[in-house]
Homo-oligomer: A and B are copies of this chain.
């Protein structure tokens, strides 16, 4: 099956050149769920582009009867981030003009919602699907007001224009997958939201982190928080509901890299997830491993980042993926000085048990720069 391909204007530059987004839409023979997948929101996190490319190749190779619903794919979804360079490096994690993390800019309906509890009361007797439709309508109505501001004389900073485009494409999705990697050197894992452990396993990764401490206005958060908030309202009203709406951030290895092993894991995980969800209906999927897959789950509020306690060079650091115990040595700083002293070695020890899930690519640190991350 061949996708519909749409090119969407994103930004006119000072030179008159224009940046665009391009969406690949695979529409199944039967209607169903909408899946939205994007990659490279942070400029250095390029691995997802290979994943999406190979997914496109795969979808092109199957028939539209193998697909229930539709899958929208947006690789290189942030041209400003992807194309930026500082010497040979890709510093495009942040918008340098506005000094904003490209993944902390999204519009979160929950923050603007009017009285959700009153709304919920009116929905108590409706079916889950009816509630979903009504609520989505509410979200979209509010979202559309952003366009008024964008088109006004004062307009908006670029990050608000940009988010509008990405969220226009994804706001009504059922399942949303945002493919990232560490900016540094990271494990392959998935960020998920409450009560989605079972679906998380479909990605066949060894490790997942529950997002229970929000960074604020991240793409996955901004998508799912309004739905979790509505679930909360129903709970307050004595009714337990759960929407079949899911948001995932896949983390696949290292920044500026497309590690072949991470790419394979990403593709396999997404295909298996789509099959488990009944969207892909092809031979060999879901994978047999899917049933018995075991995962290690941690919580985002239990992430602890270690920052250099002195300036210098990091050496003798624990390997990525190590399970450390409190008191284990984590790394050593080779610290130079300009006070006529010999260089000094400073050892740093773990304050808690946990898994080393992220380490800095750069072994040179000014005091207060990131060295490694532990989660439990």
Q: Which residues of A are at the interface with B, using a C-beta cutoff of 8 A?
A: 3, 5-7, 11-22, 24, 40, 43-44, 46, 49-50, 53, 56, 60, 75-76, 78-79, 82-83, 85-94, 96-97, 99-101, 152-161, 183-184, 256-258, 260, 304-315, 330, 334-343, 348-351, 360-370
Contacts and interface: CB of A to CB of B under 8 A. Distances in A.
Given A16-B311, A17-B18, A93-B99, 15 more contacts: A7-B340, A12-B335, A13-B367, A15-B79, A16-B79, A16-B335, A16-B343, A46-B313, A49-B334, A76-B336, A86-B89, A88-B370, A90-B364, A158-B307, A158-B367
A338 B256 contact: no
B50 A315 contact: yes
A307 B99 CA distance: 16
Contacts of A83: 13-15, 17, 311, 366
Contacts of A100: 99
A91 B89 contact: yes
A305 B100 CA distance: 17
B6 A152 contact: no
B76 A184 contact: no
A138 to B, nearest CB: 27
A85 to B, nearest CB: 5
A371 B16 CA distance: 17
B86 A53 contact: no
B154 A305 contact: yes
A17 B90 CA distance: 17
Q: Which 5 A-B pairs have the closest CB atoms?
A: A158-B368, A86-B86, A16-B336, A12-B311, A87-B91
The number of times this chain is found in the oligomer is 4
Contacts of A366: 11-14, 83, 85, 97, 158
Contacts of A314: 258
Given A96-B86, A97-B85, A362-B90, A76 B15 contact: yes
A311 B97 contact: no
Given A15-B82, A82-B15, A6 B49 contact: no
B155 A368 contact: yes
B361 A88 contact: yes
Given A75-B343, A361-B256, A362-B256, A12 B97 contact: no
6 contacts: A13-B366, A49-B313, A85-B369, A87-B97, A89-B91, A153-B349
B86 A20 contact: no
B99 A94 contact: yes
A161 B14 contact: no
Given A12-B310, A154-B351, A313-B50, A86 B87 contact: yes
A337 to B, nearest CB: 5
Contacts of A86: 86-87, 89, 91, 96
A100 B104 CA distance: 12
